[in-house]
Structure 1
């Protein structure tokens, strides 16, 4: 009885399995597409890949790189924040450069003090000392002169009273006193004349050179604060506190390449679209005044009319729209720039890939 029940259950299971296989293998019909593929709205339209950019006069986003290398110490803005030109964006570690700038400034101040000291000559106290030395030399000369006169009078009364050697010594003492007085007089005149003009000019040049060095150090110190080059919005912030930045930007561990510290864009009301047209299709581009274009947002049925801005008159190698220069392909393209007003309900951001059809009005 048990064996018979087992065979019955096994047969029922096989029947259910066969029915399920037949049911799943039947033609259920094609599923409707989530969105329609972008159709060509023009009779002779040209297709091109496009990338959304901020609306800039140059038609491109602004990549911000530091002019000096250092560790990021402070970040002062957030992504999506609107800033004015000259606004500090972030600061790099400037400890060494700040100390060097202070040293240069101190040296400039020392050179200035030395120049002012030379200009202030003669110092009254130094001139008083020189005058006293001149008076002392004059007194010594008077003493030597009186001593010689006494010796000469004594010799005139009695030649044996004063020896010839004594007379010579007295005469020599007077000559030495006269020479000392002359030296003291010239020293006094030299001090009274003040600093030599050549010394003044040399010290002035040293001060100016030190001041220029201090200004250069201060200007370099200012470079450690990265500022916004234009008015705009911070689109991307790729730096973090503690990261090392150089003039090549910061190292991106995902792409294994260098990226700019920040990416800035234009206004929020308008966006730009840069599309790349294959060189074999350039001859089919309508004249500038007759160009019309539409943009299709991938993954949706949304289409947006574009306003022609300009053609970049230079055909170059195409760079894959991931914006990585390592991904060049063997194709030459002509960049064409458009702009459009951002629809209120459309979520669209710079860097997004879109489909563009270029036709004739």
Structure 2
């Protein structure tokens, strides 16, 4: 009996252990997806992931110069015309520079106007009187010289006195010539070379004013095209950096018509034609099919950027971007990810 009782007991206990383990194992019901995956009705299909974007593409606006944000004039979602002020930077120092340059321009213009208005009407009589005075002085010197020259007896005068009277007459002649030359100079008006220098100074001052005004305008960020503010990452008091930022200061674009940018693998991009039918399926809405209209194919093949997260997805793949237009009234948002299916021609010639 001992030969059979122990093995049988051990076998029974082993079976009971297996049954207990099997009974206590957790059982999970099969998981059902939240939404059924989208399917394509085309016999030959090229599928890709698309991103909804504005008609003008999503414009990432920045600033040409770094500075402190003084005011923000728009809100997210606001639609503005082209040239509308979005936000401004602190411009106190630049405004002071503009005022200084304008004063320099006004000074240069006044100097040029003063030069053009020469001579003053009051200056001419003064010079004419100087000419008349020089003429009278010359006449007096000539009379005194003639008196001594007409003396018949040279012993009655000194040759020194005669010589001095002759020199005095010549001096008066030179003074008269100088006075007449001054009158001719002042009545001739400004010299053309002086006017050219004055005009050049005015032009240089105007250029400095335009440069200062351009620096002032660079502190104002305006809407490049009519559109809407899609994202606003700037507040008054913050410091705005220049260049291509990780988070753009303002994302702007025209959303009256939305586009979808689809990335198609470079090995399948040749299958897509402008006449190929296409539709988009928003994520989580497999019953919704948005018809698409072909817009263009980007000529440059780029590295893949829109990753789905699949472990088998190749990240070194280059893709061709195809842009489609959504029909008006499509209930999607800019930046939303959609699945796009494009009907193509298979090798048998059927689509």
Query: TM-score scaled to structure 1, two decimals?
Result: 0.80
| Counterpart position of 2:15 | none
| Counterpart position of 1:161 | 156
Deviation at 1:243, TM superposition (A): 2.6
1:314 matched to 2:311? The reply is: no
| Counterpart position of 2:67 | 70
- Is the CA contact 1:248–1:259 (under 8 Å) kept in the aligned structure 2? no
Secondary structure of 1:280's match? coil
- Is the CA contact 1:312–1:335 (under 8 Å) kept in the aligned structure 2? yes
| Counterpart position of 1:337 | 323
Deviation at 1:151, TM superposition (A): 3.0
| Counterpart position of 1:281 | 268
In the aligned structure 1, how far is the partner of 2:218 from the partner of 2:41? 51
Deviation at 1:276, TM superposition (A): 0.3
What aligned pairs does 1:86-125 form with structure 2 within 5 A after superposition? 86-125=83-122
Secondary structure of 2:316's match? strand
Deviation at 1:121, TM superposition (A): 1.5
- Is the CA contact 1:61–1:264 (under 8 Å) kept in the aligned structure 2? yes
Q: How many residues align?
A: 319
- Is the CA contact 1:235–1:264 (under 8 Å) kept in the aligned structure 2? yes
| Counterpart position of 1:12 | none
1:234 matched to 2:213? The reply is: no
Unmatched tracts of structure 2, length 5 or more? 1-20, 309-313, 345-350
Query: TM-score scaled to structure 2, two decimals?
Result: 0.82
Deviation at 1:78, TM superposition (A): 0.5
Q: 1:357 aligns with which of 341, 344, 347?
A: 341
| Counterpart position of 2:42 | 42
Secondary structure of 1:229's match? coil
**More moved, 179-188 vs 136-145:** 136-145
| Counterpart position of 2:250 | 262
Residues 166-208 of structure 1, C-alpha deviation per residue, up to 9 Å, x if partnerless?
1111111111111111111111111110111121122222222
Residues 131-150 of structure 1, C-alpha deviation per residue, up to 9 Å, x if partnerless?
22212212221221222233
Describe the shift of the 1:78–1:138 C-alpha distance in structure 2 as closer, same or farther (beyond 3 A). same
Describe the shift of the 1:111–1:87 C-alpha distance in structure 2 as closer, same or farther (beyond 3 A). same
| Counterpart position of 2:191 | 196
**More moved, 305-314 vs 24-33:** 24-33
- Is the CA contact 1:46–1:281 (under 8 Å) kept in the aligned structure 2? yes
- Is the CA contact 1:65–1:261 (under 8 Å) kept in the aligned structure 2? yes
Deviation at 1:83, TM superposition (A): 0.4
Residues 283-320 of structure 1, C-alpha deviation per residue, up to 9 Å, x if partnerless?
332x211x122222223435332222222122122224
Residues 237-278 of structure 1, C-alpha deviation per residue, up to 9 Å, x if partnerless?
1222223334415xxxxxxx544321112134x321111001
Higher strand proportion (structure 1 or 2)? 1
Q: CA RMSD in A?
A: 2.6
Describe the shift of the 1:29–1:122 C-alpha distance in structure 2 as closer, same or farther (beyond 3 A). same
Secondary structure of 2:280's match? strand
Q: 2:240 aligns with which of 223, 238, 245?
A: 245
Deviation at 1:343, TM superposition (A): 4.5
**More moved, 82-91 vs 119-128:** 119-128
